[in-house]
Amino acid sequence: AQSVTQLDSQVPVFEEAPVELRCNYSSSVSVYLFWYVQYPNQGLQLLLKYLSGSTLVKGINGFEAEFNKSQTSFHLRKPSVHISDTAEYFCAVSDPFGSGGSNYKLTFGKGTLLTVNP
């Protein structure tokens, strides 16, 4: 079974500082990888996704992530954060070759709360 580990439950940073949110997954097969953001009392919004191709993926709001197959990691980065980036961030994985609809199932990490302080 797939699993996702987000190494930091909370990450406090100052405004305009760079940030990296770490994500590792366990899977012996090909995977699709995603980062979602959740603002308070809201659903999840997709930041970016890796399906195939270039290992550096750019997403919305200035975020990017790098897929590293050898280290089974998919860390999220932003060079300069804003107060408005304060939210919870979730890394997720799915099996692109799963049958019976299992390829539509997302397995999530526990989330990382990013707090941007002035």
Partner 1 sequence: KAGVTQTPRYLIKTRGQQVTLSCSPISGHRSVSWYQQTPGQGLQFLFEYFSETQRNKGNFPGRFSGRQFSNSRSEMNVSTLELGDSALYLCASRADRGQGEAFFGQGTRLTVV
Cβ-based nearer residue to partner 1, 13 or 44? 44
Q: How far is the CB of 19 from partner 1 (least distance, A)?
A: 21
Query: Is residue 110 a contact residue for partner 1 (CB under 8 A)?
Result: yes
Which of 10, 26, 103, 117 forms a contact with partner 1 (CB under 8 A)?
103
Q: Return the number of other C-beta atoms located less than 10 Å from residue 105's C-beta.
A: 13
57's enclosing H/E stretch is strand 56-58
Instruction: Say how many Å lie between the first and final Cα of the chain, rounded.
Output: 41
Cβ-based nearer residue to partner 1, 19 or 90? 90
Q: Return the number of other C-beta atoms located less than 10 Å from residue 82's C-beta.
A: 12
- 1: amino acid identity, one letter: A
Binding to partner 1 in span 18-77, by CB under 8 A: 32, 34, 36, 41-46, 49, 51
33's enclosing H/E stretch is strand 32-38
The number of residues in the chain equals: 118
Query: Is residue 104 a contact residue for partner 1 (CB under 8 A)?
Result: yes
Residues that bind partner 1 (CB under 8 A): 32, 34, 36, 41-46, 49, 51, 90, 92, 96, 100-111
